[in-house]
Amino acid sequence: MDLTLSPDVIAFRDDVRDFMRAELPLRMTEKVRLGRQLVKEDYLEWHALLRQRGWLAGNWPRAHGGAEWSAVQRHLFDIEATAANAPRILPFGLVMLGPVLMAFGSEAQQKTCLPRILADDDWWCQGYSEPGAGSDLASLRTTALREGDHYIVNGQKTWTTLGHYANRMFCLVRTDPQAPKKQAGISFLLIDMDSDGVEVRPIRLIDGSAEVNEVFLRDVRVPVENLVGTENDGWTIAKYLLTHERTGIAGVGFARAGLAALKRIAAQERDGAGSLAENALFAARIARVEIALMAMETTNLRVVAAAAAGQAPGPESSMLKVKGTQIRQEITDLIRRAAGPYALPFQADALAPAGNTAPIGPEYAPAAAPQYFNNRKLSIYGGSNEIQRGIISKAMLGL
């Protein structure tokens, strides 16, 4: 056992830290810090900064233009970026589709799609879930039936994150409705969002945000070259993508940044003669979540290290998902509580991308309750925590 970081890893971390300090515009970090909604331009601007530095695709191999970071490097980057209040890196092209194309895509698909992902020429969205197929993803019903050199796609996708910004969607579709098992007969298809018959409708969430959408597909013609991998073998790809989606699932960086924010807020919030941070009950709540986070960071690194030694992140990633989301949700809950009576006003304008009204109460008040509600999603998407516990009991416990 050796918990120290090697000198070159420390040098990398310092590099990242300097980069964040020098390059991140205050306007951007303030938005993140205050929980304002980010728009397309914010993400593109952030991606461009990383691209210039060669850090946009830390997880990609050099051969495809990535930085080919080790798992530990990725972990450190994540922590430094979130600590600096950087926006998140959008995962759809870089973390989800990229690795899929490298493993299953044709040479032509790799040649056209991968550079466009790196250049942000395409904005991808994930078309997996349907109204009737959430946890039970394999029961999806959107069909793609072959007609000459096209598939004709009909159905509905939902919960499509940032689909309103996307020009392309990778999608699970049913190419063989007669297949004996529901997992068979599914294919992985790339769809242009500006094709005829594609309609995107926003879904408003309870915190007032508009980040997810419904996508309706009516007789959409998709060229057969847009099939990834083998027809009817899409489930293998779907699962491959989900394991990649789960790397970084513990959200250590977000949790750390959240905890730091929580501590600042508790120190600022007045309570009796002192601050809320001095309130023994509240201080104990903060301590509990910090203790959990300290242990979870090491659990995360243990899993990451095993994966780095050549093992794929297995069912252990389910453990990280459950614990990681519990910790992040606990932190947003405590921030909500810390805001006290000023969590009550609903200040949509203070959270809007371009709003400039002074907040009612302290600056952390407007986002306190909305972020608490918004973060309920963490234990629902990416495989709900119930589904993760099911995986743990089957794959780790053999029950």
Ligand X SMILES: Cc1cc2nc3c(=O)[nH]c(=O)nc-3n(C[C@H](O)[C@H](O)[C@H](O)COP(=O)(O)OP(=O)(O)OC[C@H]3O[C@@H](n4cnc5c(N)ncnc54)[C@H](O)[C@@H]3O)c2cc1C
Binding residues for ligand X (CB under 6 A): 126-129, 134-135, 159-161, 212, 377, 380-381, 384, 386-387, 390
Alpha helix ranges (H) inside 354-396: 365-374, 385-391
Q: Compute how many residues bind other proteins; rule: CB under 8 A.
A: 53
269 binds other proteins (CB under 8 A): yes
Pair type for strands 186-192 and 212-223: unpaired
Judged by CB under 8 A, the stretch of 54-62, 82-90, 143-151, 368-376 that binds other proteins is: 368-376
Residue environment code for 19-32, b if the CB has 16+ CB neighbours within 10 A, otherwise e: bbeeebeeebeebb
Distance, first Cα to last Cα, the chain: 31
- Residue 332 touches which member of other proteins, ligand X, none, C-beta under 5-8 Å by kind: none
Q: 227 forms bridges with which residues in the sheet? A: 189
- Shortest distance, CB of residue 165 to ligand X, whole angstroms? 12
Closest CA to 233 of 178, 169, 189, 191: 189
Minimum distance, C-beta of residue 231 to ligand X, in the bound complex (Å): 21
Nearer Cβ to other proteins (18/136): 136
Query: Judged by CB under 8 A, does residue 177 bind other proteins?
Result: no
Q: Which is nearer to other proteins, 253 or 383 (CB)?
A: 383
Q: Cβ 344 to other proteins, closest distance in Å? A: 5
Strand partners, 298: none
Closest CA to 363 of 351, 371, 375, 376: 351
245 noted as active-site residue: yes
- Cβ atoms 253, 104 nearer than 8 A: no
Structure tokens at 57: 């695709």
What CA–CA distances, in Å, run from 248 to 79, 95, 96, 347, 352?
11, 10, 12, 32, 28
Site for other proteins in 327-366 (CB under 8 A): 329, 333, 336-337, 339-347, 360-361
User: Which member of 227, 276, 351, 367 binds other proteins (CB under 8 A)?
Assistant: 276
Residues 207-226 that bind other proteins (CB under 8 A): 208, 212
- Residue 133 CB, nearest approach to other proteins (Å): 8
14 binds other proteins (CB under 8 A): no
CB atoms < 10 A from the CB of 288, how many? 12
Q: Which does 128 bind (CB under 5 to 8 A by kind): other proteins, ligand X, none?
A: ligand X
- Catalytic residue, chosen from 80, 130, 245, 297, is 245
Residue 203 lies near other proteins (rule: CB under 8 A): yes
- Both tokens assigned to 304: 């990451």
Nearest Cα residue to 188 out of 173, 207, 169: 173
- Least distance from C-beta 336 to other proteins, angstroms? 8
Chosen from other proteins, ligand X, none, partner binding at 203 (C-beta under 5 to 8 Å by type): other proteins
Site for other proteins, residues 100 to 159, rule: CB under 8 A: 129, 132, 134-136, 139, 158-159
Which of 172, 290, 187, 266 is closest to 230 using CA atoms?
Answer: 187
Query: What does 88 bind: other proteins, ligand X, none (CB cut-off 5 to 8 Å by kind)?
Result: none
Distance, in Å, from the CA atom of 197 to the CA atom of 215, rounded to the nearest integer, reads 10
CB half-sphere exposure, 27, CA atoms < 13 A? 8
Q: Do residues 157 and 214 touch, judged by C-beta distance below 8 A? A: yes
Establish if 282 lies at the interface with other proteins (CB under 8 A). Answer: yes
**Residue 294 corresponds to which amino acid?**
M
- CB-closest chain residue to ligand X: 134
Give the closest residue to 185 by CA, choosing from 174, 196, 194, 193. Answer: 174
Smallest gap from Cβ 313 to ligand X, in A, equals: 19
Q: Which one, 307 or 380, has the nearer CB to other proteins?
A: 380
Minimum gap (Å) between residue 383 Cβ and ligand X = 7
- Beta-carbon contacts of residue 95 (< 8 Å; ≥ 6 apart): 59, 89, 244, 245, 247, 248
Q: 222: exposed, middle or buried (C-beta count within 10 Å: 0-12, 13-18, 19+)?
A: buried
Q: Is 395 in the site for other proteins (CB under 8 A)?
A: no
Residue 126 binds which entry of ligand X, other proteins, none, CB below 5-8 Å type-dependent: ligand X
Nearer to other proteins, 314 or 361 (CB): 361
Q: Give the residue numbers marked as catalytic.
A: 245
Binding site for other proteins (CB under 8 A): 129, 132, 134-136, 139, 158-159, 203-206, 208, 212, 269-272, 276, 279, 281-282, 285, 329, 333, 336-337, 339-347, 360-361, 369-370, 372-374, 376-377, 379-381, 384-386, 389-390
